[in-house]
């Protein structure tokens, strides 16, 4: 059976929630492999709305195993809150359908506090973080001072880990003019929350290896978008983890040979939340129209998303770095009624044409998009579930995108409803 990795191929908010839900119905195991509770997504099932930010999308479906892998940074208090909220909506959550890797690092109150203080005090360049402690938690992970899920099970180990963590953080906080962390209060908070987390703790790498051997279909669910990748994104305006498909292996403990298909989720236009370069951004009526029709506000933060034309040059890059086998094109219906559409096919930098976005920040700022114009369509595509239901110009638009990004379309989404999907190629097919 095929195992599928789903990644956002832009700056996030591409509509992964709906597509992951659509795929999760066909999968046996759904795995989160990076990010934290800063990446929200909305699922609409039988007209019931579920808002998730940490738990895998498969949790709302019976008979599926949901897994939080070691590549995630986990806020245990948010986990408890999100589980309680979903249980209140009638979702069953137990150690039978949710497992958390024992080596998953924790997000602590000190992390979110540091995140917010840094952003508020940074007068040079603001990154636009969500303030949820994601970055500082990853810093502690690579600094080898993180507290991990398994540490919650032993009081002596936990105290040692906290002491090591606070040597670093209290020194840092002193420089920022903050009071030292109350060691006793932090330890007590961790001891109090420990049972809520440990009931789900497991050697995830072993479980996934066994599931693979048994022929289970595994769906790896990415968060954010590839253009926010710590290495290949628009640095420093990026997230603190690797977002591209290769992270599915290291963030779960299942080797790269287990990945059979990489599905890149792509909006029919482009959006971005927060700071950073955005070559095709529209500060005009077209941009406002895209935002209003697409309801472009962040699920977690509520922040308004910046909107612009589709950038084929950038998506071609992310398809290459993630090894995308096919894309799912979402929100095609938002483009209904536009007389003229534009697609960015490259950039002009100081008189030189480029077919990619360079990494140097000063060069990115000087890149001027090169557009190709296409006729729009007046007919509605909303709710279309087959090619024949699409206007001719909409089909031409999709086909032109395929040519420019050098990757074929596997699915087309025409509304938030999970059934309003045109299936071109089933990613789970052998």
Distance, CA of 224 to CA of 38 (rounded, Å): 9
Rg, C-alpha atoms of the chain: 22
Identified catalytic residue from 21, 37, 41, 111: 41
Distance, CA of 71 to CA of 82 (rounded, Å): 19
Distance, CA of 322 to CA of 150 (rounded, Å): 31
Report the 10 Å Cβ neighbour count for 203. Answer: 14
Identified catalytic residue from 13, 140, 333, 420: 13
CB 71 within 8 A of CB 208: no
Measured over the CA atoms of residue 251, residue 255, residue 259 and residue 262, the dihedral's sign is: positive
Please report where in the chains the tokens 């296409």 appear, as a residue: 374
User: Does residue 375 have an active-site annotation?
Assistant: no
Q: Is 247 exposed, middle or buried (0-12, 13-18, 19+ CB in 10 A)?
A: buried
Distance, CA of 225 to CA of 402 (rounded, Å): 19
User: Does residue 140 have an active-site annotation?
Assistant: no
CB 324 within 8 A of CB 8: no
Q: Is 49 exposed, middle or buried (0-12, 13-18, 19+ CB in 10 A)?
A: exposed
Closest to 71 measured CA to CA, from 137, 164, 25: 137
Distance, CA of 406 to CA of 386 (rounded, Å): 23
126-151 burial by CB neighbour count: b if 16+ within 10 A, else e?
Answer: ebebbbbbbbbbbbbbeeebbbbbbb
Known catalytic residues are: 13, 41
């Amino acid at each position: 059976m095929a195992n599928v990795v789903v990644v956002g191929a832009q700056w996030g908010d591409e509509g992964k929630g709906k597509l992951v839900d659509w795929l999760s119905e066909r999968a046996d195991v759904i795995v989160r492999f990076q990010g934290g509770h800063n990446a929200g997504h909305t699922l609409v099932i039988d007209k019931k709305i579920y808002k998730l930010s940490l738990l895998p999308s498969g949790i709302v479906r019976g008979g599926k195993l949901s897994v939080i892998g070691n590549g995630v940074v986990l806020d245990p208090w948010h986990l408890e809150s999100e589980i309680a909220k979903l249980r209140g909506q009638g979702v069953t959550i137990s150690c039978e359908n949710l497992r958390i890797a024992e080596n998953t690092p924790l997000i602590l109150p000190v992390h979110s506090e540091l995140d917010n203080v840094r952003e508020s005090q940074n007068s040079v360049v603001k990154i636009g973080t969500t303030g949820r402690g994601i970055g500082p938690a990853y810093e502690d992970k690579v600094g080898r001072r993180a507290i991990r899920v398994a540490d919650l099970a032993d009081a002596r180990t936990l105290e040692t880990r906290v002491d090591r963590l606070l040597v670093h953080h209290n020194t840092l906080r002193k420089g920022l003019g903050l009071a030292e962390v109350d060691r006793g209060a932090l330890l007590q908070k961790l001891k109090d929350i420990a049972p809520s987390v440990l009931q789900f703790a497991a050697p995830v790498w072993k479980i996934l290896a066994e599931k693979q051997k048994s022929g289970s279909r595994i769906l790896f669910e990415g968060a954010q978008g590839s253009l926010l990748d710590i290495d290949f994104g628009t640095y420093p305006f990026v997230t603190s983890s690797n977002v591209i498909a290769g992270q599915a292996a290291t963030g779960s403990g299942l080797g790269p040979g287990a990945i059979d298909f990489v599905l890149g989720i792509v909006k029919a236009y482009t959006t971005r939340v927060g700071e950073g370069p955005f070559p095709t951004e529209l500060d005009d009526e077209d941009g406002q129209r895209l935002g209003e029709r697409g309801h472009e506000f962040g699920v977690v933060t509520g922040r308004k998303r910046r909107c612009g034309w589709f950038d084929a040059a950038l998506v071609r890059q992310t398809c290459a770095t993630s090894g995308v086998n096919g894309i799912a094109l979402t929100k095609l219906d938002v483009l209904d009624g536009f007389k003229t559409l534009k697609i960015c096919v490259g950039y002009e930098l100081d008189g030189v044409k480029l077919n990619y976005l360079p990494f140097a920040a000063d060069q990115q700022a000087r890149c001027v998009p090169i557009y190709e114009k296409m006729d729009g369509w007046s007919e509605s595509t909303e709710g279309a579930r087959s090619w024949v239901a699409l206007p001719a110009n909409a089909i031409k638009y999709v086909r032109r995108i395929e040519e420019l990004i050098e990757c074929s379309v596997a699915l087309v989404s025409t509304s938030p409803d999970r059934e309003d999907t045109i299936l071109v190629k089933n990613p789970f097919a052998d």
